[in-house]
Amino acid sequence: MSLTGQPDTSVQTSNEFDARNFPTRLMAKPRWIVRHRAAIEATATMTLAMSAPILAAVATLQTSA
């Protein structure tokens, strides 16, 4: 729809979400993620586990001040 209220025929709109509308990079997982999934998950788990005590200490300090 244009600013004048007339339908804009020069622009084609598509509400279909099929493979043709998405770039190839977004469709497939990179191979390195698939190959190193266990290491990636382990790193994320360790990072969260190591940050939990720090976050708890900061929360304790903030409530006591």
pLDDT range class, residue 63, cuts 50, 70, 90: confident
Q: Residue 16 has what pLDDT? A: 55
The total of other beta-carbon atoms located within 10 Å of residue 37's CB is 11
> What predicted TM-score, i.e. pTM, was given to this entire model?
0.44
Q: Residue 41 has what pLDDT? A: 95
Please list, in sequence order, all residues whose beta carbon lies within 8 angstroms of the beta carbon of residue 1, skipping any fewer than 6 positions away.
Answer: 7, 8
Two tokens at 12?
Answer: 């084609």
Q: What is the mean pLDDT of residues 7-31?
A: 61
Instruction: For residue 41, give the amino acid letter.
Output: E
